[in-house]
Chains A and B, each alone.
Chain A
Amino acid sequence: MRPTTFKLSLAVSAIVLLAACGGQPPAPEQSPAGVVDGSRTGVGGPATGPTTVAPVTATAIDPTSLAALKDPKSVVFNRSVFFDYDQYVIKDEFKPLIDAHAKLLVKNPGVKMLIQGNADERGSREYNLALGQKRAEAVKKALMLLGGQEAQIESVSLGEEKPRCTDQSESCWAQNRRGDMLYSGEF
């Protein structure tokens, strides 16, 4: 490795570490992008090669790979499912997100997930702990229906104890009523 490259990777690591401290999902640590050398797929290839051209999109990380978890452009970069007040039913808008995570779990049977349920601050701490648990379990059940395995997933609750937002407003409370899907190494 040349010194400049080494310095660059150090800097990237530092950014990743800093970002990881911010309570957000871990920042993307870019693995080599899926750019494919055109000379091997036909474009501008020897005249003896195929005459049709297979188009390649030079971006996507496999959405069911663990690398996708750290790619902000990937669906599975999002980890949070939000709930209505005093409810633990998963709303339709979060089904694609859960579907994407289920596919990732199926593709990577060795990976473990911790689902942390949360509640807003109103009412009893212990009841809110149970409410957060119900939310985490609703996410777990949905993932298992789509092929996630019991041994892969643990659902726990943080109740109202770890609010993402601490203002006393509905928009803030709405952010705290959620389940977070965390993977091995993230909890």
Chain B
Amino acid sequence: MRLSYNPAMKFRSLLLAALLLAPLAGRAQLAIEITGAGASRIPVAIADFNGEAGVSRALTSVVRADLERSGLFRLVDPTGLPTGETAAPYADAKARGADALVGGTVAATADGRYETRFRLHDTQKQAQLGGQAYGHASAQIRATAHRISDYVYEKLTGERGIFSTRVAYVVKSAGRYQLQIADADGDNGQVALSSREPIISPTWSPDGTRLAYVSFEAKKPVIYVHDLGSGRRHVVANFKGSNSAPAWSPDGKRLAVVLTKDGGSQLYTVGADGSGVTRLASSAGIDTEPQFSPDGQWIYFTSDRGGSPQIYRIGAGGGEAHRITFDGGYNVTPRLSPDGRNLAYISRNGGRFQLTIMDLATRQTQVLTDSSKDESPSFAPNGRMILYATEIGGRGVLAAVSADGRVKQKLSVPAADIREPSWSPYVK
């Protein structure tokens, strides 16, 4: 059973939603600011969880912030709604304008852990939509909240939630570069690599356990694969010249890379362990920024073989290259949506570099931003949002925009430049 989407849903409590969210802003290292929302949002009430006061207020506040940030929900004031997993105050919630209601309970268990249970209700149909129970440690309160958000999001929108995913990005401050990993809400930021030399192009392995990236610590670009759990890493490509632009194959066994060992920036594939280097394409000019299509059949890439940088694709085993972009003199950094239907890339429009999306079936394009220094787009694993780097007031920030251009967020770190975002796949 799924709550149907109703465009005639009432719009209230906008201010209230903003007030509910405000106390969360200071906590995250990576602060996320919502700068645009969907046209129609599902009104939902998240009642305080029974027992929450004695454990952590983070639980429901994280769920509320997750849903609000997605731009697809409008939070309805839950003050005074009865708490608990079994409470179902349909009339009260409906009178407040909520189409959906979440109620839950958190309780300590004998082994010093916690059990969190919740149920999701449809107030229109006065029916339960389902619920879950999680046993967890106190350190996993936020992770549990993200799982609840994922459940609610999927039940109400029909698509999988991304609240339990993570983002990787590079922070530059005072001559130091840090590759950091944070939860999708910007919290829990951790440093995976710290260096005095630049780090670029981080990208998640399909199983979400490793990052491939380019580090300049050897005074030239070298490709590494870094296991996040153990902190161990190994060189994948350190040939004469430059080694860059790693992209994982969908099975995680190989990487498409750019090497210059044979002259020029050219496309190769290499095993994730650095073995079996194979040349993929050949051009007199620049070929770079390879990216596998989700089905593994194609590699999209940037090339200036036609006189200006444009996006092309080639079979994953090589063959003839076909040009994809034709409008304008600078179209770079191709990134396929997870369903393979859309292509996000950066196009130059009158001196402005802007995130653009193309429907590959119709070849229709849409510029998604009004900024001018967009770089490095990365799709959320459900394809709903695109994370990218841009610049505001001379400082590097991350921003996210929905694939339809409506929902907008800004992510920034105080007093630092932040760039090179990469959204993780779903966590197993």
Contacts and interface: CB of A to CB of B under 8 A. Distances in A.
A137 B333 contact: no
A113 interface: no
A116 B242 CA distance: 10
B200 A126 contact: yes
B155 interface: no
Interface centre among B242, B244, B263 (most CB of A within 10 A): B242
A127 interface: yes
Contact of B375 (A114, A116, A125): A125
B420 interface: yes
Contacts of B201: 125-126
A123 B348 contact: yes
Interface string A22-46: 0000000000000000000000000
B179 to A, nearest CB: 14
B383 interface: no
A70 interface: no
Nearest to A154: B240
A125 B260 contact: no
Interface in B122-179: none
Interface centre among A122, A126, A131, A161 (most CB of B within 10 A): A126
Interface in B87-127: none
Contact of A155 (B198, B260, B288, B333): B260
Given A123-B330, A126-B258, A127-B288, A156 B353 contact: no
A133 B348 CA distance: 22
B312 to A, nearest CB: 13
Interface centre among A130, A131, A157 (most CB of B within 10 A): A130
Interface in B283-310: 285-289, 302, 309
Contact of B200 (A133, A134, A161): A161
B376 interface: yes
A113 B287 CA distance: 25
B199 to A, nearest CB: 9
A158 interface: yes
A186 B346 CA distance: 36
Contacts of A6: none
A127 to B, nearest CB: 5
Interface in B212-246: 214, 216, 219-221, 240-242, 244-245
Given A124-B346, A129-B221, A155-B241, A162 B265 contact: no
A125 B258 CA distance: 13
A131 B288 CA distance: 10
B115 to A, nearest CB: 46
A131 B332 CA distance: 13
B264 interface: yes
B216 A126 contact: no
A129 B244 CA distance: 8
Interface residues of A, number: 25
B interface: dominant SS = strand
A126 B263 contact: no
Contacts of A162: 198, 216
A123 B286 contact: no
B332 A127 contact: yes
Contacts of A114: 219-220
Contacts of B264: 133-134, 137
A130 B242 CA distance: 8
Contact of B265 (A130, A154, A187): A130
Interface centre among B289, B348, B420 (most CB of A within 10 A): B289
Contacts of A154: 240-241
B24 to A, nearest CB: 32
B286 A130 contact: yes
A41 to B, nearest CB: 46
B373 to A, nearest CB: 8
Nearest to B246: A126
B346 A133 contact: no
Contact of A161 (B216, B241, B265, B286): B216
A162 B373 CA distance: 18
Interface in B252-294: 258, 260, 263-265, 285-289
Interface centre among A124, A131, A137 (most CB of B within 10 A): A124
Contact of A127 (B219, B240, B241, B309): B309
Given A161-B216, A162-B216, 14 more contacts: A123-B353, A124-B289, A124-B332, A124-B375, A125-B375, A125-B376, A126-B332, A127-B309, A127-B333, A130-B258, A134-B264, A155-B260, A156-B241, A158-B216
20 contacts: A123-B375, A124-B289, A124-B346, A125-B200, A125-B419, A126-B258, A126-B333, A127-B332, A127-B333, A130-B258, A130-B287, A130-B288, A132-B242, A154-B240, A154-B241, A156-B260, A157-B260, A159-B200, A161-B200, A168-B394
| Closest CB pairs A-B (n = 10) | A130-B265, A161-B198, A156-B220, A130-B286, A124-B332, A130-B288, A157-B242, A126-B245, A126-B289, A124-B333
